[in-house]
Amino acid sequence: MRILVVEDDAVLAEGTCESLSKAGYAVDLAETGTQANSLLDAGNYDMVLLDIGLPGMDGFEVLRRLRKHNTSIPVLIISARDDVDFRIYGLDLGADDFMLKPFVLAELHARTRALLRRHVLSERNALSCGALVVDLAAQRASVNGEPIELSIREWDVLVYLLRNLGKVVRKEAIIETLCDWKTDLSVNAIEVYISRLRSKLDSHGINIRTVRGFGYLLDEPSA
C-alpha cells in the first residue's frame, strides 16, 4: 500500500510519515502542491493524505487536478478549519474523508485503514494487513507491491488468518477450512505451514504470532 502525504509543516509531516511507515505502508512526502501533482502523475499511489493549507497551489487545487484525471484514489483531507461549507466543498471536489487538525495518530490510522478497505481493497476484492495485500481475485499476495510466492496451502492458511484478523485462530479451525471434510491433517502440519509462511513473511515485517495453547494470531496493524 503506497500512500502519498502532502504536508508543508515539516514537523507534522515527519511524525505522520514515520507513523505510517511503521505501520507498514510505503510512504512518500510532498511538501508543496506542485510537487504533489508531479508525484501523483508519476507514481501509482493507493491513497493520498492531503493537507489543505499549502503554500502556492493549495490542497483543493491538487485535489481538483487529481480528479480531473479521473483517478479514484481515496483522498483524506486534513485541515485546521472546521466550518461546514469548507468541509462540504472538499467532499464535493471528490475527497473521501475529512480530518480536523490537530489529530491523534490512532485516528489517522483508523481512517486510513477504513478508506483503504472501502476503496482499494473492496474494488480489488482483497484482504490486507499493513503492507501485506492478498488479492483474492488474482490469487496473488504482495507486500508493498512486491509479490510473494505462496503454495496453495500457504495461501489458504494466510487467507484464513486474514479473514480472522485480530482473532486467535485454533489449529483445528484451520484444518477444517483446509480439507473439505475428507482428509484429516495432523496438527503438526499446520505448524509446518505456519513455519513456511513465516519464513516468507517475517522478512517483510508481517508477523504471525503464536498464542501458546490456543493457536495463531495475525494482529491488526497498529500505530
Question: Contact positions toward DNA, by CB under 7 A?
Answer: 149, 151-154, 171, 179, 183, 185-189, 191-192, 194-195, 198-199, 210-215
Indicate the burial class of 112 (C-beta count within 10 angstroms; 0-12, 13-18, 19 or more): buried
Annotate each residue in 65-104 with x if it binds its own copies (CB under 8 A) or - if it does not, as one string: ---x-------------------x---xx----x------
95/62 Cα distance (integer angstroms): 11
Partner in contact with 137, chosen from its own copies, DNA, none, beta carbon below 5 to 8 Å by kind: its own copies
142/120 Cα distance (integer angstroms): 14
CB 220 within 8 A of CB 167: no
Partner in contact with 198, chosen from DNA, its own copies, none, beta carbon below 5 to 8 Å by kind: DNA
Residue 38 touching its own copies (CB under 8 A): no
Alpha helices per DSSP H over 23-145: 33-42, 59-68, 84-92, 105-116, 122-124
Residue 118 touching its own copies (CB under 8 A): yes
Question: In a 3-state reduction of DSSP, which class is residue 115?
Answer: helix
Interacting residue with its own copies among 11, 55, 83, 137 (CB under 8 A): 137
Handedness of CA 29, 222, 11, 88 (dihedral sign): positive
Closest approach of Cβ 144 to its own copies, in Å? 13
Binding residues vs its own copies (CB under 8 A): 68, 88, 92-93, 98, 110-111, 114, 118, 122, 125, 136-140, 151-152, 166-168, 173, 176, 180-181, 211-215, 217
